[in-house]
Amino acid sequence: MTPGPKNPVRPQVLGWVLVVGLGSGSYWAPRPWRIMLLGLLVLILTGIYRWRARRDTVWILRRLRHRQANQLQVIQGWMQLNRSDRAAEQVAEVIARLGEEGQWYRDLPLSWLYTVLIVDMLAESKGIRCQWHIAGEPGSLARLRFRVVAMRAMACAGSALDIHLNPRGFALSLPDPKSVPRRNWGVTTWTQGDTMVMLWRSRTGKR
């Protein structure tokens, strides 16, 4: 599953149709035409990648604005009820959350930051609250595995997901999961009480 607007299909489908057509044409065409078709294929693939990145970035910004609007409405509601204590608690929670997210921007490289934002917004769109514990960058191989495992964990999670990242790999804890996640290659899964844990460690991870 990828984020985005409700109707992102048409330009992407058209792009992949062109990719298949150019790929087939470059295979069967004579050499001079083959080089030109391969060049067009590379350009179209680059365009599809850039379009998807822009679409996902806009989707993240929309989700962030939606979250901030909800937080402000809650604070305003408590103020209207003359419950300044509860409003102050909500403000403190927002500040803590912003401080946590600020750590992502300081400590994570761009590729991991993008992945963390995508996973966090996707979980929120499903009504799942992510609690992040980031102790370092697990590496590029772990990032590819993390997104797949996180998607499968979301499908089984209840209302919360606890995520730990460190240079050795990552772990996802599902308190009171709705179902058992499918097996994931290289991922160890076990149960601690009512919590299910999914652990992935890189054999070449940083120490």
Percent of the residues in the chain that have a pLDDT greater than 70, as a whole number: 79
Encode pLDDT of 131-174 as tens digits: 999 988 888 888 888 988 999 899 999 899 999 999 989 999 99
Nearby residues of 120 by Cβ (< 8 Å), 6 or more positions away: 130, 132
Return the structure tokens found at 8.
Answer: 């992102």
Predicted confidence at residue 5, as pLDDT, reads 46
Q: Domains of the chain, with CATH numbers?
A: 110-207 (3.30.565.10)
Q: Which pairing describes strands 160-166 and 169-175: parallel, antiparallel, or unpaired? A: antiparallel
Say yes or no to pLDDT of 29 above 80: no
**How many helices (H) and strands (E) in the chain?**
5, 5
Predicted confidence at residue 1, as pLDDT, reads 44
Predicted confidence at residue 205, as pLDDT, reads 45
Provide the pLDDT confidence category of residue 182 given band limits of 50, 70 and 90.
confident
pTM for the whole structure: 0.74
Q: Give Cα separations from 62 to 91, 149, 164, 205 (angstroms).
A: 21, 24, 26, 34
